[in-house]
Amino acid sequence: MSNFFRYTKLAALPLLLILPLGAQEQGISRQQAEEILNELRQIRQLLEKQAKPAAPQPEQITRAKLNLDGFAMLGSKDAPLTMVEFTDYQCPFCQRFHVATFGELKKNYIDTGKVRFYSRDLPLDFHPNALRAAQAARCSAEQGQFWSLRNVMGANPDKLDLEHILGFATDLKMDATKLRTCVESEKYKDSVQTDVMEGMKIGATGTPTFVIGKSTPEGVDGEVMIGALPYQMFDAKLKELQK
C-alpha cells in the first residue's frame, strides 16, 4: 500500500504533529519522512482546493419552438406573445397555478390582447385520473365547453373520477351522456400521448411546464419555465419580452 493511501486519513491534522509521531512509532528514515511530508502537503492542497466554493454557473435557459395549430387557445390570435401550459389536471402544483396565478395573468395579459394562452396535456403516470381528465377536456371541446370544464377540473384535482367529471359537466349544462361516451371511447388518448411526447422532448420534467415567448405564424418560439411560479415571475418575463 502506498504512503498516499496510508496517510490520507491523517491529512487534515497539523503536519508537524503527524510526522514526529509516525517517526517514533515506525522508525522511518529521514527520506521516508520527507516523502510522507510531501504527500501530506499534496493531500492538504487537494482538500483545500476542493473546499473552495465553486464559481456560480450561469442559469441554463432552455428554448423551444412549438407548432400550436389546432390546439385550444384563449385570447386574441393576433397577440404578440404566446404562453403555453403543459398541465396535469390531478397535479396540486397545477392547481396552485390555476387558483393563485392564472386569474391575474388572464386579466392583465390575455384579456387585454397582449398574450394568447394555449393548453397542452402532460398527464403523469402516477396520477391515475390525469389521463382521463385530459381526454374529458378534449371531449368537452366538442360541446364548446373546453375552457369551462378545464377550469373546474383544474380547481378540483382530487375529484377527477369519471362520475365527478360527469357531475361537473351536468352543472355546466353539457350533455353528460355524450361526454361519457366520448371519454370511454378514448378517441383522444393518442393525441394526449402526443402532447406528452412533445413535452418530454422540450424538457418538461414536471407539471406545470410553460413555454413563453414571441408568437410565430406556427405557434411560439420561447423559453421553457417549469413549476407553479408566482405571478411576479411571469409578469417580469412577459414585460421583458415586450421590450
Reading the chain (243 residues) residue by residue, the pLDDT tens digits are 444 344 344 343 444 444 444 444 455 677 766 766 776 777 676 666 655 555 555 556 799 999 999 999 999 999 999 999 999 999 999 999 999 999 999 999 999 999 999 999 999 999 999 999 999 999 999 999 999 999 999 999 999 999 999 999 999 999 999 999 999 999 999 999 999 999 999 999 899 999 999 999 999 999 999 999 999 999 999 999 998
What is residue 9's predicted lDDT score, i.e. its pLDDT?
41
The residues with which 107 forms a beta bridge, in sequence order, are none
CB atoms under 10 Å from CB of 219, counted, come to: 21
* pTM: predicted TM-score of the whole model, two decimal places: 0.76
Burial of 35 (0-12, 13-18, 19+ CB in 10 A): middle
What is residue 5's predicted lDDT score, i.e. its pLDDT?
40
Is 149:137 a contact under the CB 8 Å cutoff?
Answer: yes
Pairing of strands 219-226, 63-67: antiparallel
Alpha helices in the chain (DSSP H): 3-6, 15-26, 30-51, 92-97, 103-105, 130-141, 146-155, 162-171, 176-185, 189-201, 231-242
- Work out the widest C-alpha separation in the chain, in whole angstroms: 95
What is residue 43's predicted lDDT score, i.e. its pLDDT?
67
